Amino acid sequence: MKMMMISIESFSLLMSALLIIGGLLLWRHGTKCYDRGITDAILMHREGRLHYNTYLDDNGNKMVNIEIDPMEDE
């Protein structure tokens, strides 16, 4: 039985290409989810389901408290 060999340079190039492609796909997926989340938040705010207020925590950092009312059919 003959084993198939790949050079270290070819292996490194293949792994680099796969990592770059994977990184780009993850970035694209994250951007789409972020856009979808912002759209959902705007719609909930317009429907009156999204309520928020700002406050300062114990360290003086500005924080946001967000409450979402359930949908009518839930």
19 within domain boundaries? yes
Total domains present in the chain: 1
1 within domain boundaries? no
2 within domain boundaries? no
pTM confidence score: 0.53
Q: How far is CA 74 from CA 69, 70, 71, in A?
A: 10, 7, 5
55 within domain boundaries? yes
25 within domain boundaries? yes
For position 5, what pLDDT does the model report?
86
Q: Which of 43, 46, 66, 42 is nearest to 54 (CA)?
A: 66
Tens place of pLDDT per residue across the chain (74 aa): 677 888 999 999 999 999 999 999 999 998 888 888 889 989 998 999 999 999 999 999 999 999 999 887 75
Residue 11 is given by DSSP the state: H
Beta-carbon neighbour count of residue 68 at 10 Å?
Answer: 13
